[in-house]
Structure 1
Amino acid sequence: MLIAIVAVVMAASVLLALWAGRASRGGGISEFLVGGRSFPAWLVYFLAVGEVYSIGTMIGFPSGIYAHGASYGIWFLGYILLAYSLGYFLAPLVWRAAHRHDAMTVPDVFGRHYGNRALELITCVTMLIALVPWGQYQFIGLQVVLSNLGLRLSPVQCVLLAGVIAFVYIAVSGIRSPAFVSILKDVFMLLGVVAVGLAAVLAAGGTAEVTGPAVLARAQTTMGGPALLFAMTTILFQSVVFYLGFGGAYVFPARSERAVKSSTVWMPLYMLIYPFLVFAAYYGLQHHPGLANPNTVFMVTAKGLLPEPVLGLVAAGAALSGVLVLSATALTIGGMVSRNLVPNVRPAAQRRWTVGVVAAFLVLAAVLTLTASTLMLTVLNLTYNLLAQVVPGWLAVLFARRVRAAAIATGMVVGVAAAVTLYVTDATLGGINPGLVSMGLNLAIVFGWRLIAPGPRRAPVAREGGPAVTPRAVATQPAP
């Protein structure tokens, strides 16, 4: 029954992807990567939440509370709420920058705004290093979730099926498949999370028996000292990276700035799933203490409370979440390789190149999942810290008039080196999030350089219509 439900849902998602592909048949690279910049607000909303609320939400949020208590939940919820507030103002400007430069990737924006091929390459390499483990994590998370929910598939079968379905999504319609499949994914993810949370409350005898002061230790509901400092700095750090690091993938396809802004208004509604995840986490803490792997708490709780048909809904939501984010990440990587990393790819050939890179990435990620997943998981923690290194460049593009491309490139390289060093040395910094420190160093270089040696005057994107210096053409990258 369980595997039949998952199979039916995944088959339905493939049919939905094929249906979505009707609009992109015969389209060029713009249609493939950014949907021809035609997505209305409601589709931008589903694409964004589809990529943001991934399989990591079902695994990471409950396991973080299970292992670390309230401090994890506070910074997790806090940064998302602050990100939506910032995104209301920043996300439309990100779209405007892409529209101004006819850009389909973040390196496109940076390279064309400053007319600098070196900056384009450095941005591309930085984002590739950050996104490869993020895509890899979807494979690993999918394998962990489905195996713990009792789906009788071997690791090889899980990885193979996920890779094939993710490739089909992208091959048939590019960005349109993740956008439309995200609607189906959200239905099953919401049903699954709510079912587990409600089952936990009913089994315990009410919310007070799950989250009340009589059943929870003080350490699970309070925080202070380094934990509080880490929570506050992480809220600030990750809320900025949310749109200026990850945002291009789900902002660029919008049809207008208004569509982007409208989509952000409704995004906080999706956070209604978090109370149910909290119930599942605290129920697991009381009834399944001492789990060897905290990442399994949501699945263990679900398996112990739900009948098999409902458990199938949970498994289907988890499977769709992992495959959806995997496909969208693969498309982003493919687009950057075909447009920014490899020089002189003709626009007519970029779609074929992108599909080829997507296939190569999925094969590589699948092999690494089966042979070196532990190594990749250790690198995963760097994803946010590395993506943060494009934030100073975005701030310069959006708001600064006289920043040099060399300053942004240098700040990015130094920031990446600092992020890796702080991670490898496991620096605690008194509780300050290391990503904030590396990004701060990057910002100091970019805007300190501007004070010492200002660059040529350019109109920042936030001041659309002002006097601007026309960037030099990037010689090695043809226009689309």
Structure 2
Amino acid sequence: MTTAVFLGFIVFSLYLAIRSKKGHGAQSVHDFFVASRQFGAYLVFFLAAGEIYSIGTMVGFPGGIYAKGPTYGVWFLGYILLAYPLGYFLGPKIWQAGARYNAITLPDLFKGHYGSRALELIVAGSSILFLLPWGQLQFTGLVAALKGLGWEFDPVYLVLISAALAFTYIAISGVRASAYIAILKDILMVVAIVATGVAVGWKDGVGDVFHAASLQVSNQMNDTQLRFSMSTMLFQALGFYVMPFAVQNFFTARSANTIRRTQVAMPLYMLMYPFLVLASYYAISQNLQLASPNEAFFAAAVRLLPDWLLGLVTAGAALSGLLVLAGICLAIGPIVTRNLLPGMPEQRQKQGAKVVIVVYLVLSIAMTLATPNLMLTLINTTYYGVTQFFPGVIVILFSLKVRPMAIALGILSGQGLAIALYAQQADFGGINLGLVSLAVNLLVTVVANYAPRLARVQPA
């Protein structure tokens, strides 16, 4: 029954992808990647939520609490809630900048504002580099979800099937397919999470589960853990909406006001997190022996839910990962065909992007099979690089005049330092390494921007 329900929802998702193309004929590059800037508030809302509440919500969050205790949840919830106000104010400006420069990708914004080919290449190349772990994150989550639900397939087959499905969604109608499937995915994900949390409370009682779990994990943070949580919230909130796929999602909206309306409603999704915490505490309280902490939520679901509902949980988890994977691919494809290979005719960009997407999926699969990691590591690695775009994006959004060389040096300094500090396991008393690197990024940008002007000032 579990498999039948799961396959039924996967088939239905393919139907939605096909349905999304109806009435749009042969899609242009702008329609394929950003829906010709035609999406209303509902589609933008589900598309954005589909990227935010991904497989990491059902796998990474409970897995982190299982492995590291409830203090992990403070960081996870905090950075998302802190990001939403930023999205409300910056999202409409990102849309306006995209319309001004007829942008499809994040590097298009840098190209349009700064007029620098070198800076465009730096943003394009590092976007691709730092999104590789994000793709690996989705595959890792999908493998953990399906194995946690008792599907004893070789991980090779699981990731290959997942990659094939993600590519199929994209090939049918690009971002339109993602938006339609996101509606189904969100319904399934919320139902799966709430049903599992309710089942825990119904069986063992909320108070008893929390008490039993508290005997095994600490609810206290020391000073170092507190500094790490607070600095990580700030750092990742700044990077949240400069992710290449997040920027591209904003470009699909019909107007700047459409973005504001979606951001107001986004926090409603946070209501499902108490149910995730309950499932995580259940796994801890029952001393469930897991192959990986990432299986915590699904171990609770397998024990407590009937087969048909377990099929719904499986479908929700799978679509959560597949949708984000498709979004990453839709961001990386045009970055290569528009920014790294700018001479490619527009009519060939869509087909070229599909080839790039296949290559990206293959690389992500190889990384997943070779270096499986706890999701927190993969999330941090992407943010270390992507958040360094933040100063350059702010300059674009507020139409400031800053030398492109200064922005380029700042980005490269921040990314290089973040990687070096991470490799050396440097410790700044718990302060997130990425935030330290972002501060250096800003310093280098300011110095590189004003130093030539100061050098031209002659003494009296």
Give the TM interval when normalised to the shorter protein.
over 0.9
Unaligned runs of 5+ in 2: 455-460
Give the stretch that moved more between structures: 69-78 or 113-122: 69-78
- Taking a change above 3 Å as real, the CA distance of residues 415 and 306 of structure 1, as seen in their structure-2 partners, is same
Compared with structure 1, are the counterparts of its residues 36 and 156 closer, same or farther at alpha carbon in structure 2 (3 Å cutoff)?
Answer: same
Kept after mapping to 2: 8 A contact 1:16/1:180? yes
Write the distance in 2 (CA, Å) between the matches of 1:136 and 1:224: 31
Q: CA deviation at 1:376?
A: 10
Name the counterpart of 1:177. Answer: 177
> Is 1:239 matched with 2:269?
no
Equivalent AA in structure 1 for residue 75 of structure 2: W
Q: Distance in 2 between matches of 1:174 and 1:400?
A: 31
- Find the counterpart in structure 1 of residue 13 from structure 2: 13
Identify if the C-alpha distance between structure 1 residues 292 and 136 changes in structure 2 by more than 3 Å, giving closer, same or farther: closer
Alignment partners' CA distance in 1, 2:23 and 2:451: 51
Inter-partner Cα distance in structure 2 for 1:219 and 1:285:
8
Map 1:259-408 → 2, pairs under 5 A: 259-288=258-287, 291=290, 293-370=292-369, 372-374=370-372, 381-399=380-398, 401-408=400-407
C-alpha separation in 2, matches of 1:25 and 1:355: 18
Deviates more, 1:441-450 or 1:346-355: 441-450
CA positional deviation for 1:219: 5.5
CA distance in 1, matches of 2:263, 2:373: 35
Does the residue aligned with 1:27 lie in a helix, a strand or coil? coil
The answer as to whether partners of 1:120 and 1:340 remain within 8 angstroms in 2 is yes
Which secondary structure does the structure 2 equivalent of 1:244 belong to? coil
Question: Within 1, Cα distance between the matches of 2:302 and 2:213?
Answer: 22
> Which residue type is aligned with residue 96 of structure 1?
Q
1:67-466 equivalences in 2 (<5 Å): 67-205=67-205, 207-212=206-211, 216-217=214-215, 220-246=218-244, 247-288=246-287, 291=290, 293-370=292-369, 372-374=370-372, 381-399=380-398, 401-453=400-452
| Paired residue type of 1:181 | I
Between the aligned partners of 1:343 and 1:8, the Cα distance in structure 2 is 42
Q: How far did residue 444 of structure 1 move?
A: 1.4
Structure 1 residue 375: deviation in Å? 7.5
How much is the aligned-residue C-alpha RMSD, in angstroms? 1.9
User: Contact 2:294–2:374 at 8 Å: present in 1 too?
Assistant: no
Taking the aligned partners of 2:313 and 2:94, their CA distance within structure 1 comes to 35
- CA deviations 1:240-275 (Å, max 9, x no partner) are 111123521321111110001110000000111100
Structure 1 stretch 159-168 or stretch 181-190: which is displaced more?
A: 159-168
Deviation, 1:143, is 1.3
Which 5+ residue runs of structure 1 have no aligned equivalent?
456-480
Are the structure 2 counterparts of residues 221 and 367 from structure 1 closer, same or farther at C-alpha, using a change threshold of 3 Å?
A: closer
Aligned to 2:457: none
Q: In 1, Cα distance between the equivalents of 2:170 and 2:374?
A: 24
Distance 1:292 1:8, change over 3 A: closer
SS in structure 2 at match of 1:25: coil
In structure 2, distance between residues paired with 1:69 and 1:454: 52
CA spacing shift, 1:258–1:290, aligned 2, 3 Å? same
